[in-house]
Amino acid sequence: MEITYYPDPFLRKLADPIDKITPAVLKTLDEMIEFMYVANGSGGVGLAAPQIGLSKRLLVMDPSSREDEKIKKPLFFINPVITHVSKEEVEYEEGCLSLPDIFAPVTRPEACIVKYLDRKGQEKTIEADGFLARVIQHELDHLDGKLFIDYLSPLRKQMVGKKLKLLEKIYKEKN
C-alpha cells in the first residue's frame, strides 16, 4: 500500500460506491486502518481509499489516536454521505497524508450528520461535532476529489505555495 500524493490526478476523481460488501472489501478496510496507524507518525487520523490508489467510497478513521496512540477506536465508513451540516462554522488546522508537511486552517461546519454502511452492511447514522466532524468532512471530500487546500483563501494558498510547488516537482520527476 502506498500513499497517493498531491498533485496526482487520481486524487481528483469521483470515487465509485461499493455495491456489495465482500470479504475483499472488509480486508481492504482492515489494511487501510493498519496502514493509517503506521502513517499516524506523520499525523494521519483518517484515510480515504483514493489516497491509496483505490477509487472506492471507503473511509477509515480513528480520531482517538490523536490523543493517545495506544487507544484504538477504529471507525469504518462504507458509502458515507453527509446529510446535514451545521450553520455554525469553525476554523481548524488541517493536514493530509497526501500533502505531507502542509498544514493550514480551514473553515468548515462545526457539526455534521453522516449516513453510511457499517462492515455488516447495516445503515448507520452518526451525529458528529468537533474533531470527529472535522475528520469526517475532510475524508469524505477525498471521495469527491476534493482536497483541503481547495478551501484556502488566496493568501493562505500563497503561504503554502512553496511546499505545493515542491510536491508538484517531486510528482513530475516520478511520472
| Spatial CB neighbours of 66, under 8 Å, sequence gap ≥ 6 | 45, 131
Least spacing, CB of residue 48 vs Ni ion, in Å: 7
- Measured distance CA(69)–CA(150) in Å, rounded: 30
Compare residues 38 and 125 and give the one whose CB is closer to Ni ion. 38
- Element (DSSP H or E) covering residue 84: strand 75-85
The closest residue (CB) to Ni ion is 96
Judged by the rule CB under 5 A, the positions of this chain that interact with Ni ion are 96
- CA distance linking residue 175 with residue 173, whole number of Å: 6
Residues 6+ apart with CB under 8 A from 116: 77, 78, 79, 80, 81, 123, 124, 126
Q: How far is the CB of 139 from Ni ion (least distance, A)?
A: 6
CB 94, min distance to Ni ion, A: 8
CA distance 164 to 100: 9
CA angle (49 as vertex; 5, 13 as ends), nearest 5 = 65
Active-site annotation holds for 139: yes
User: Least separation, in Å, of the C-beta of 138 and Ni ion?
Assistant: 6
C-beta of 42 vs 158, nearer to Ni ion: 42
Nearer to Ni ion, 21 or 156 (CB): 156
Residues with a catalytic annotation lie at: 139
